[in-house]
Structure 1
Amino acid sequence: MTAAERHPKLLYWAGVALGPLAWGINLQGVYALAHFSCETTKLTGTIMSVALAIVALAGTAISARAVRRGVGAEWADAQGGGPRTFMAWLGVGSGVLFALVIANQLAASLVISPCLR
C-alpha cells in the first residue's frame, strides 16, 4: 500500500477520530480549569470549548468531503466501496454528535458556577 492509497482512507476516519478526541480534551480541560475559573472569571474554558467544537465539525466536514469524493469510485471499485462509505457516514454522524455534546457542556459551564463543589 502506497502513501497515496493510504491518505484518502484516513479521510474517511477523520470524523470518527476527531469528534471523540475533541470531546475528551474538552472534558478534561473544563475539569482542569474549573478550579482556576472559581478564583477569577476567565473565558479560557469557553474559548477552548468553542475551538474544540470547531475541530469536531472539521472532522465532520472532512468525512463528508470523503463521501462526496468517493461516490463515483463506488462504481469503479471492484469491492463496491461500501465499507469506506459507511465509515465516512459514521464519521459525519459522530462528528456532529460530539460537537453537540461539546456545545451542551459549554452551555452547562456557562450556567452553573464552577465554585459549586
Structure 2
Amino acid sequence: MSTPEQNSKLLYWAGVALGPAAWATNLQGVYVITHFACHNTASSSLVIGTILILVALAGSLLSARAVYRGAGSEWADARGGGPRTFMAWLGVGSGMLFALVIANQLIAASMVNSCLR
C-alpha cells in the first residue's frame, strides 16, 4: 500500500477517532482544571471546551471530505468501497455527536460553581 493511499484511508477514520478523543480529553481536562478554576476567575474550561468542540467537528469534516472525494472511486474499486464509506459516515455522525456531548458538558460546567465540585 502506498503512502498517499494509506493517508487517504486514514481520513475516513478521522471522525471516528477525533470525536471520542476530544471528549475524553475534555472530560479529564475539566476534572484537572476544577481545582484551579475555584481559585482563579479565568474561564479556561470554556476555552478548552470550545477548542475541543472544534477538534471533534474537524474530524467530522475530514470524514465527510473523504466521502465526497472518494465517491467516484467506489465504482473503480473491485470491492465497491462500501466499508470505507460506511466508516466515513459513521465518523461524521460520531464527530457531531461527541461535539454535542462536549457542548452539553461545557454548559453544565459553566452553570455549576467550580468551588462546589
- Taking structure 2 as the reference length, the TM-score comes to 0.97
Deviation at 1:81, TM superposition (A): 0.2
Where do 4+ consecutive residues of structure 1 move more than 6 Å?
A: none
* Deviation for aligned residue 1:89: 0.2
Alpha-carbon distance in 2 for matches of 1:69, 1:4? 14
1:50 positional shift: 0.1
The 2-side partners of 1:95 and 1:63 are apart by 9
Q: What is the aligned partner in structure 2 of residue 51 from structure 1? A: 51
Distance in 2 (alpha carbons) for counterparts of 1:39 and 1:47: 17
Structure 1: stretches of 5+ with no match in the other structure: none
TM superposition shift of 1:106:
0.5
1:70 Cα deviation after fit: 1.4
> What SS class does the counterpart of residue 114 from structure 2 fall into?
coil
Paired position in structure 1 for 2:81: 81
Once the two structures are superposed, the pairs formed by residues 2-21 of structure 1 within 5 Å of their partners are: 2-21=2-21
1-side partners of 2:98 and 2:60: how far apart?
10
Instruction: Measure, in 2, the Cα distance between the counterparts of 1:111 and 1:44.
Output: 14
Q: Match of 1:31, as an amino acid?
A: Y
Q: Deviations over 1:15-69 (max 9, x none)?
A: 0000001111111011100011111211111000000000000000000000101
Quote the residue 1:99 is aligned against: 99
- What are structure 2's unaligned runs of at least 5 residues? none
Q: Once the two structures are aligned, what percentage of the paired residues are identical?
A: 64
Paired residues, number: 117
1:71-95 Cα deviation digits (max 9, x unpaired): 1111111100000000000000000
Q: What SS does structure 2 have at the residue aligned with 1:78?
A: coil
Map 1:56-67 → 2, pairs under 5 A: 56-67=56-67
Letter in 2 for 1:77: D
Compute the RMSD of aligned alpha carbons.
Answer: 0.7
Distance 1:6 1:40 in 2: 46
